[in-house]
Each structure stands twice: as C-alpha cells, then as structure tokens.
Amino acid sequence: MKIEAVDFFYLAMPEVTTAADGSQDALLVRVRGGGLEGWGECEASPLTSIAAFVCPMSHGVCRPVGDSVLGQKLDDVADIHRIAALVERDSMDLLQAAHTFSGVEMALWDLLGKLKGEPVWRLLGYRSSEPKVPYASMLFGDTPDETRDRARQVLERGFQAAKFGWAGYGAGSRNTDADHVRAAREGLGPDALLMVDAGQIWGNDLEAAASRLPDLEAAGATWLEEPFHASAYDAYSALSARSSRVRLAGGEGAHNVYMARHLIDYGGVGFVQIDCGRIGGILPAKQVADYAVARDVKYVNHTFTSHLALSASLQPYAGLSDHRICEYPAEPKSLAVEITREHLLPDANGQIKAPDSPGLGLSVNAIGLTKYLVDTEIKVGGRTIYATPSFT
C-alpha cells in the first residue's frame, strides 16, 4: 500500500482563551492509502504544525515532513520505523517536525491496523489490552471551596483518582497552594488517588518546589507533576532526593525518546508521562514504555484532549498490567468530545482499556466537525501550498 494523501484539519472552538486547556483547538490528520484511511491528532499549535509538513525546503536536513511521508510504502510495522527514521534525518533542523509527525504517525498506525484487521496494541506485540484506572484530569478551582466541589464531582462520576493542577498553583503562596491541595483531598475522600500538576511553574527553583512537599505528603498525594522545566534534570534529581513519599512525574514535554530517558536516568522521576502527540507518535512512546519497565519506573499516558488521542496514548502500554494509571480528559471542550463517534467510557469497575477494534478502534465524526473548521490558506511566492481540505 502506498501513502497517497495526508490531510490536516485545523479545528477550533469559537473562542480560544488563555486557560491551560488544550482541548480548545485541535489538528486532526487523515492519511489515505489502499482505499483506507487512518486518523491521528497532533498536540501542538495547529498552524505551525501544518507549516512544518508543507514548508519549502531550507536545506538538506531541514525539509518539510511531507517529503518523508507522501508516496511511501506502508505494508507492515517496519515501514513505520523506516518513515520515522526518514523524518528524523531529513527534518533534523525543523524543530516542529516531531509535533507534526506525531499526528501523522498515529494515523499511520490506525491505517496499518485497519489494513491488517488488528488493533494497534497487538501490532506493537502485546497479547492483551489490560484495564487502566483513569484519573480525571482537572484544573484547580479559583477558590479552595471550588476545588473541593470539583473533587466531589469527580467521585460522583465514578472516578477512583483525580489530578488537579495549573490555575495558579505554585504562583502564589505556599499556604494558598496547601489550602487547595487539602480541599482536593477532602473532596476526594481518603481512598481515591490524588495527583498534583505544577505545570513547570517553578522553572528550576528547587526551594520553591520543596516547600510544597510537606503539604503534598500530608494530603497523601501520589505524585507532583512537572515542578520544573521539562529539561531541568538537575532540579528534578535534587527534588526527588528530598521527597520521601511523593514521587515526581514528568515527560509530557519530551519531544523524543532521549528526553524521556534523561528524566528517568538523571531526573529520578517515579512516573514518566508521555504524550503520543508530542514525542513523535506511538512508536517512540512504546520505546519509552519498554525503557520504563526496565528501570522500574511507572509509565503513564498524557492526554487532555479527544478520545482519539486517548486511544493512541493507551496503545504503547496497553499490555502492561502493572502500569495501571491513565490520564483521562474529564472536562474537554465540545470540540474534543465530538471528534470521535465512540468514546472510551469507564466500565462497571471504573476502568478503561485500549479498544480491541482494528487500528485505534474509533471513528472520526467528520460531518459533525465541519462547524469547527478554521478556513486556512498558506501561500509562498504566490503559490498555495496548503488550503483547508474537505472531509469527504
């Protein structure tokens, strides 16, 4: 089968705000070949990601991602390895390439799974799709009372775990942060898992992060996520050594396998969180999962957007029964909800699994997404190199 077409669909809510909510816009990718189509989703700025696929070549290792994908053969898993290596080499100096190719690569797996009649996790070598415990991924409230109410709502919806973050956490006083963490625990009760996401707020300020540890420990937090810049491995390592019970989590900012490995080897994280829409797709995420297993670190998916992205994020560790925590987009915008016709809903035990259907196991609601399409055209030298495609 030959890759005949790669189409990008820039989607957005009517209003996009500064809230730390990645579900406000989306970049869907459709790959066609052999009478089939596969779908993926980039987790990055839609317009710049499109540009990285179609931009004119700057030099030999700064080529558009499209040059390494269009017209290529796709018959087995080895072809995805080969295409990924082409992108890595020929777009070496195109810094948006990993983000752009992430969505394309997901779509290649979806397409290959449909060709083979197998779910992606089986193509990755797993024998079964193991259940995961989804945690509701939430923003802290404006007040502790609002945070407490949100935590109670999480329990009412049947979740056994929740993560609260951003919304000013770390930007104010330690006491304010402690009030929010305490409120989250009160709302969740004593048994549910509680995680906290600092959203890189402290840069590399070790003491600011360390000052929050006693309050997190008192609340029984499972992890403190992204206290520092994604590559501040020395700060991660120092904080990890000072944390007796709360483990550190990070990895969503990893744009390649090496960054994720450094967080494990040098940063001392206890949980490595990988976003298939950023690291280059499902294959490098699986490589990180394998590495985490070997280093006795727990692998966790990262996704805050659609269920298409959620399914993709589950594939790299679908067969790992001991790696059970799963991020779940609990409050996505309507755009993210409507991307797929089906959704991965918790079962009677409050757990979810990667689908058993071929590919990523979900179908895209193309007709329903038309209202979110952002009409876009990119011209270079008077020549149109991208225009919004049709869903048909």
Residue 20 scores a pLDDT above 80: no
Is 10 in contact with 77 (CB distance < 8 Å)? no
Residue 347 tokens read as: 């079962």
Ramachandran bin of 323, using left for φ above 0, alpha for ψ from -120 to 50, beta for the remaining angles: beta
pLDDT at 329: 87
Confidence of residue 332 (pLDDT cuts 50, 70, 90): confident
Taking residues 88-110, report their average pLDDT.
96
Write out the DSSP string of 44-76.
S-HHHHHHHHHPPP-BTTB--THHHHTT-B-SS
Residue 172 tokens read as: 């104010």
Amino acid at 87: V
**Tokens 């490595």 belong to which residue?**
272
What is the set of domains in the chain, with CATH numbers? 5-122+365-387 (3.30.390.10), 126-338 (3.20.20.120)
Ramachandran bin of 131, using left for φ above 0, alpha for ψ from -120 to 50, beta for the remaining angles: beta
Residue 184 tokens read as: 């989250």
Taking residues 148-175, report their average pLDDT.
91
Q: Global pTM?
A: 0.94
Tell me how far apart the alpha carbons of residues 172 and 178 are, in angstroms, rounded to a whole number.
11
Burial class (CB in 10 A: 0-12, 13-18, 19+), 365: middle
Residue 116 tokens read as: 């083979």
Residue 16 scores a pLDDT above 80: yes
